[in-house]
Amino acid sequence: MSFLRSRFVQAVLVLVIAFVVLRFGIQPPAPWSVLTLYMSIVLLAVLVFVSSDSDSWREFVRPIRATLISPDKRRARLGLLIALPLLFGYYAYTQAAAKPQAPPELRAVHPAPPASMPFRGKEIQITGLDNPLRKDQATFKKHVAAGAEIYIRNCLYCHGDNLDGKGHFAYGFNPPPANFQDPGTIAMLQEAYLFWRIAKGGPGLPKESTPWNSVMPAWEDRLTEGQIWQVIVYLYDATGQQPRRWEESH
């Protein structure tokens, strides 16, 4: 075991043992960035130790020097000359090589609604449908107030009291509840679209919206047709947004 007295062997042994302990002795395994940090600290400590006095340092560098210059180490030199570039080359290759990646999840946030849909035993035509509550200005405010009550009873927990999608339950859901203040939601949608989404909810989303685990409930069995239109006018009134209109051709 005389080789154990060599400073160089000692240093290498400490590094190897430290690596094995840090890599396999810690559960759950530490990430590589942490491992490299710890290994750098160990390396520094080893260097401080072997260079603590000049005898020790000379002893440490002797085998390295010998490998580099002494004539009888020609084989070892040649081996290193081949092995080191291969090792670095392999490392560079593993860093640069393209890795197989899961395809990104593309999903339609606002899929096209069906042209018509069943609602409580009758068929409702969605294309070209306007909110009937907007026809009579005299009763409009009443419908907004009724919509507010429906919203507070049913939608607040998810869509939030500021209609910004930050209700109490919102943080548990992915995708998160829609933020109606965001100009990317109800402001660019027709009211008939909202009617469809509120009636059929997450379960009613078509295939192009998968993989969606939308928790948006289907309200068709709980709210009447009139109540759904009321909560819709409330959404626009409370956020100050305007619904998108059907194009003239309809």
**Which residues bind to ligand HEC, rule: CB under 6 A?**
110, 154-155, 157-159, 169, 173, 175-178, 185, 194, 197-198, 202, 214-217, 219, 231
Minimum CB separation from ligand HEC for residue 136, in Å? 22
Q: How far apart are CA 231 and CA 149, in angstroms?
A: 8
Residue placing its CB nearer to ligand HEC in the complex, 10 or 241 = 241
Residue placing its CB nearer to ligand HEC in the complex, 50 or 233 = 233
Closest CA to 178 of 199, 162, 196, 200: 162
Task: Classify the C-alpha dihedral 24-29-32-37 as positive or negative.
Answer: negative
Residue placing its CB nearer to ligand HEC in the complex, 57 or 173 = 173
- Dihedral, CA atoms, 151, 154, 158, 161, nearest 10 degrees? 30
Minimum CB separation from ligand HEC for residue 248, in Å? 24
Residue placing its CB nearer to ligand HEC in the complex, 119 or 157 = 157
Residue placing its CB nearer to ligand HEC in the complex, 63 or 217 = 217
Residues 6 or more apart from 88 whose CB is under 8 A from it?
none
- Dihedral, CA atoms, 169, 173, 179, 184, nearest 10 degrees? 180
Which amino acid would we find at residue 244?
A: R
Cβ atoms of residues 56 and 7 within 8 Å: yes
Minimum CB separation from ligand HEC for residue 100, in Å? 30
Minimum CB separation from ligand HEC for residue 48, in Å? 57
Rg of the chain, C-alpha, whole Å: 35
Minimum CB separation from ligand HEC for residue 102, in Å? 22
